[in-house]
Chain A
Amino acid sequence: AQSVTQLGSHVSVSEGALVLLRCNYSSSVPPYLFWYVQYPNQGLQLLLKYTTGATLVKGINGFEAEFKKSETSFHLTKPSAHMSDAAEYFCAVGPSGTYKYIFGTGTRLKVLA
């Protein structure tokens, strides 16, 4: 069985500050891990993914995430927040080679001017 936990349903950061959104997962098999972003009234868009190989994954819009197996974590970071980063972010986990993904409950990021 798999599950994913996103700590913090709402996160506020100042413009230019570090963004850190937390995701912990459980999986009995090697997982695929994803971060998706959802802007208001839009569908989900892939930010980045980990499947195999390098554990530090770079995505779009300056975001990156690191797969830490020992901590069962896949936290999302961005060095400097922009106003346009305000959105809801979802972490997802699935068994490698399948598309049976479990999504977290989401973290709404607010960027303060």
Chain B
Amino acid sequence: EAGVAQSPRYKIIEKRQSVAFWCNPISGHATLYWYQQILGQGPKLLIQFQNNGVVDDSQLPKDRFSAERLKGVDSTLKIQPAKLEDSAVYLCASSPGTGTGELFFGEGSRLTVL
């Protein structure tokens, strides 16, 4: 079974530039999550999708961050314009949406904002 795929793995940009990250969850997983992991901290949930609908985006800085999951499968997270404090690893995770409680994580996309 293929795992959660993310790209790019690494991205370096200047502040005020834009960046987009892509995630393809495990096949059949209805729920998709984007987490932000700042160095030295645990992952923090940015947004949760159930199929193509948003379940929770209460911690997403909506003035600069946006995310979509148009067909209920893969997802894109965009940052525009980026700030220095956005430097982090952006983790995508998926879950079947029922029962086990386990999240399946991708390898992450490391963003450095200069």
What residues of chain A have their CB less than 8 Å away from a CB belonging to chain B? 9, 32, 34, 36, 41-46, 49, 51, 90, 92, 94, 99-106
Binds A, one of B14-22, B36-44, B66-74, B78-86: B36-44
A79 to B105, CA, bound (A): 27
A106 to B41, CA, bound (A): 7
**Does B106 sit within 8 A of A, measured CB to CB?**
yes
**Given A99-B33, A99-B95: A105 and B105 within 8 A (CB)?**
no
Is B102 a contact partner of A46 (Cβ separation < 8 A)?
A: yes
Q: How large is the interface on B (under 10, 10 to 19, 20 to 34, 35 or more residues)?
A: 20 to 34
How near does chain A come to B5, taking the closest CB pair, in angstroms? 11
How near does chain B come to A83, taking the closest CB pair, in angstroms? 22
**Does B45 sit within 8 A of A, measured CB to CB?**
yes
Is A43 a contact partner of B101 (Cβ separation < 8 A)?
A: no
**Nearest opposing residue in chain A for B42, CB measure:** A103
How near does chain B come to A48, taking the closest CB pair, in angstroms? 10
